[in-house]
Chain A
Amino acid sequence: MNATRRRTGFFAVAIREWRRIVRSPFQVMMLLGLPLLGGWLIVSVFGSGAARDLPIAVVDHDASPLSRDFVRMIDSTGGVRVSSIGADLDAAERLVLRGEVYGVVSIPPHFERDAARGEAPVVTTFYNAQYVLPASQIKNALSSATATLSARIEFRQRGAARELPQVAAARVEPIALDVHALFNPSLNYVTYLVSALLPTLLQIFIATVTVHAYAGELRDATAGEWFATAGGRSLPAIAGKAVPYAVHFTALGLLMLAVLYGRLGVPFQGSFAAVGWATALFVLAYVAMGFAFAAAAGELGFGTSLAAFYCAPAFAFAGVTFPVEGMPLVGQAWGSLLPVTHYLRILVQQGMRGAPIEASWHAVAALAVFCAAPWPFLAWRMARLARATRETHG
Chain B
Amino acid sequence: MKTLFSAFVDEARLAFSDLGILIIMVLAVVVYAFVYPVPYLNQVLRNVPVAVVDQDRSSLSRRLIRMADAHEAVRVAGEPDSAAESERLVRSGAVAGVIVVPRGFERDILEGRQARLSAQIDTSYLLTYSAALTGMLESAGTMSAGVEVSRWRARGMSQEAALRARRPVGLDLRPLFNATSGYATYVVPAVLLLILQQTLLIGIGMAGGARRERASTRSAAPIDAGGHPIAQVLGRSIPYLLLYAVNAVYYFAFIPRYYGYHVPGVASAVALLTVPFLLATVFLGLALRVLFSRRETAMQVLLFTSLPLVFLGGFAWPVEAVPVWLHRAAELVPTTAAIPAFLRVTRMGAGLADVSREAGLLWALVALYFPAACLTESINQRRSRHAPRATLGVYPSN
Contact = CB atoms under 8 A, between A and B. Distances in A.
Given A177-B117, A220-B397, A96 B348 contact: yes
B109 A304 contact: no
B299 A204 contact: no
Interface of B: 19-20, 23-24, 28, 32, 35-36, 38-42, 44-46, 48, 88, 90-93, 99, 109, 112-130, 133, 136-137, 140-141, 143-144, 147-148, 151, 163-165, 167-179, 181, 183, 185-187, 206, 295-297, 299-301, 303-308, 310-312, 315-318, 320-323, 326, 340, 343-344, 347-351, 354-355, 393-394, 397-398
Interface residues of A, number: 130
Contacts of A326: 42, 44-46, 127
Interface stretch (A2-10, A37-45, A236-244, A252-260): A37-45
A185 B23 CA distance: 45
A175 B68 CA distance: 14
Interface string A183-207: 1110101001100010011001100
B127 A173 contact: no
A337 interface: no
Contacts of B137: 177, 179
Contacts of B141: 175, 177
Interface stretch (A226-234, A280-288, A317-325, A382-390): A317-325
A301 B296 contact: yes
A179 B117 CA distance: 9
Given A125-B173, A126-B176, A187 B129 contact: yes
Contact of B320 (A55, A154, A300, A302): A55
B398 A52 contact: no
A12 to B, nearest CB: 19
Interface of A: 20, 24-27, 30, 34-35, 38, 41-42, 44-48, 50-55, 70, 94, 96-99, 102-103, 115, 118-136, 139, 142-143, 146, 149-150, 153-154, 157, 166-167, 169-185, 187, 189, 192-193, 197, 200-201, 204-205, 208-209, 212, 216, 219-222, 300-302, 304-305, 308-309, 311-313, 315-317, 319-323, 325-328, 330-331, 334-335, 348-349, 352-356, 358-359
Contacts of B48: 325
Contact of A180 (B28, B32, B118): B118
A14 B396 CA distance: 21
Contacts of A180: 118-121
Nearest to A140: B130
The 9 closest A-B pairs by CB, nearest first: A129-B175, A122-B170, A170-B114, A175-B144, A129-B178, A51-B321, A26-B398, A184-B123, A153-B168
Given A300-B296, A323-B45, A352-B124, A98 B354 contact: yes
Contacts of A103: 176
Contacts of A219: 393, 397
